Amino acid sequence: MAEIEQQAKETTVPFYPDHVSLEAKVVIGVSIIALLVGLIGLFAPVGLGEPADPMNTPAHVKPEWYFLGLYQLLKYISKTAGAVLPILAVLVITFWPFIDRKPDTSRKSYNRRAIGETIFMVILIAMTIWGEVS
């Protein structure tokens, strides 16, 4: 038993002086690299072009694919409704299980929801594709 404890003491590395000093060296190294990158960026900035003008959006700019349907929706309804309606839709979907607590026993209501969801998804996919090609 004493031999096992002696071997364990010889094969382990103490945390305080060894690991703490190693982590301190890593922190100092990363800090130096970050400081060098910051200084290079300060004295030799890389410009990509003229600064962005929020009041003048170029015609070729399109959002990422997951926002294309909403982007296309903004072309056909007012901007206020286009900003408020998706938020309201997400809130309704979020809180619907807490509002509608009655058990669902009929196949008819299930079919209505399935048809409504299918129509919604077809419209969303069509508007996303339409937003990409327009």
Q: Report pLDDT digits (tens) over 64-104.
A: 999 999 888 888 888 899 889 999 999 999 998 888 888 87
Q: Binning pLDDT at 50, 70 and 90, where does residue 49 land?
A: confident
Tally the domains of the chain.
Answer: 2
**Domain membership flag for residue 53:** no
Coil vs helix vs strand at 99: helix
Q: What's the domain range around 108?
A: 65-133
**Domain membership flag for residue 23:** yes
| Residue that is written with structure tokens 């002086």 in the block | 17
Mean pLDDT lowest among 5-14, 27-36, 67-76, 82-91: 5-14
Query: Is the pTM here over 0.85, yes or no?
Result: no
Do 129 and 80 lie in one domain? The reply is yes
**Domain membership flag for residue 78:** yes
Question: Both ends of the chain: CA-CA distance in Å?
Answer: 78
Do 69 and 129 lie in one domain? The reply is yes
Helix (H) or strand (E) holding 97: helix 79-99
128's CB contacts (< 8 A; 6+ apart) are 65, 68, 69, 72
